[in-house]
Amino acid sequence: MTLLSLPSRIDRDLYPALMSPELNAKYPTDHKAFVRIDVSLRIYWHTLFDICPELLELSGPDGMSIFRPFMAWAGEKKLAFDWSYYLWVYVWLRQSQFKDRLLADGKYLRSIMAASAARWAILDRGRSRGIVIGCADTTDLVIGWKCRSVRVGREIELIEPEEPLPAPSDIFGYFTLPAFELNVFPGWQGLAR
Amino acid sequence: MRRWPLPAAQATFGASKRKRKQMRLGFNFTLGDTYDMAQRLMAEGHIDYCEFLIDNFFCVDPDELAKAFDCPIGLHIMYSKFLEADRPTLVDFAARLKDYIDALNPIYVSDHILRFSHEGRAFFHLGEIDYSAEYEFVRDKVLEWQDIVGQRIHFENYPSIMDGGVEAPAFFERLMKDTGAGVLFDASNAVCSHRNCGTPFDAWRNVIAAAQHFHVAGYRQSLIEPFISLDTHAEQLAPDTLDFLANFRSVFDKPGATMTYERDDQIEFDAIVADLKLLRNLFGQPQEGRHDLAVSA
Ligand SMILES: [Fe+2]
Ligand SMILES: [Fe+2]
What predicted TM-score, i.e. pTM, was given to this entire model? 0.93
Residue A193 pLDDT grade (very low, low, confident, very high; cuts 50, 70, 90): confident
Confidence (pLDDT) at B295: 46
> First-to-last CA distance in chain B?
46
Q: What percent of chain A has pLDDT over 70?
A: 98
- Interchain contact, A147 vs B57, CB within 8 Å: yes
From CA B250, how far away is CA B259, in angstroms rounded?
14
**Most distant pair of Cα atoms in chain B: their distance:** 78
Identify the residue among A2, A4, A6, A10 best suited for mutation to test binding to B, counting B beta carbons within 10 A and taking the highest.
A10
Average per-residue pLDDT for chain A:
96
Alpha helices (H) in A50-135, listed in sequence order: 55-59, 64-77, 85-94, 99-104, 106-123
pLDDT, tens only, B135-170: 999 999 999 999 999 999 999 999 999 999 999 999
Contact call for B226 and A30, based on CB within 8 A: yes
Determine phi and psi for A78, rounding to 5 degrees: 55, 45
**Run of H or E residues at B231:** strand B229-231
- Work out the minimum CA distance from B80 to partner chain A, whole angstroms: 8
- Ranking A1-10, A137-146, B106-115, B220-229 by mean pLDDT, the lowest is A1-10
Comparing CA positions, the residue from A82, A45, A94, A90 lying closest to residue A67 is A45
> Mean pLDDT throughout A102-111?
98
Residue B297: predicted pLDDT: 40
pLDDT tens digits for range A116-132: 999 999 999 999 999 99
Q: HEC profile for A20-46? A: CHHHHCCCCCCCHHHHHHHHHHHHHHH
Say which of B129, B163, B228 has its CB closest to residue A35.
B228
Q: How many CA atoms lie within 13 A of B204 on its CB side?
A: 30
Q: What is the pLDDT of residue B86?
A: 98
B79: contact with A, CB 8 A cutoff: yes
pLDDT of residue B6: 37
Q: According to the model, what pLDDT value does residue B290 have?
A: 54
| Low-confidence residues in chain B, pLDDT < 70 | 1-19, 288-297
How far apart CA B126 and CA A19 sit, in angstroms, is: 11
Q: Give tens-digit pLDDT for A78-103.
A: 999 999 999 999 999 999 999 999 99
- Number of Cβ within 10 Å of residue B13's Cβ equals 12
Query: How much distance in Å is there from the Cα of A167 to the middle of ligand 1?
Result: 41
* Cβ-Cβ contacts under 8 Å, B223 against chain A: 42
Cα Rg of chain A (Å, integer): 19
Distance B218 CA to ligand 2 centre (A): 10
Please answer yes or no on whether A35 and B93 come within 8 Å at the CB atom: no
**Contacts of residue B162 in chain A, CB cutoff 8 Å?**
8-11, 13-14, 32-33, 36
In the prediction, which pLDDT does A92 show?
98
Lowest mean pLDDT among A56-65, A170-179, B32-41: B32-41
Residue B287 burial (10 A CB sphere; 0-12, 13-18, 19+): exposed
Residues 6+ apart with CB under 8 A from B12: none
Secondary structure (3-state) at A156: strand
What's the gap in Å between B210 CA and the centre of ligand 2? 17
Segment (H or E) for B25 = strand B24-29
Asked if the Cβ–Cβ distance from A129 to B59 is below 8 Å, we say yes
Any A CB within 8 A of B59 CB: yes
Measured CA angle at B265 (ends B259, B268), to 5 deg: 80
- Whether residue A32 and residue B57 make contact (CB cut-off 8 A), yes or no, is no
**Confidence check: pLDDT of A73 > 60:** yes
Q: Which residue of B has its CA nearest to A40?
A: B125
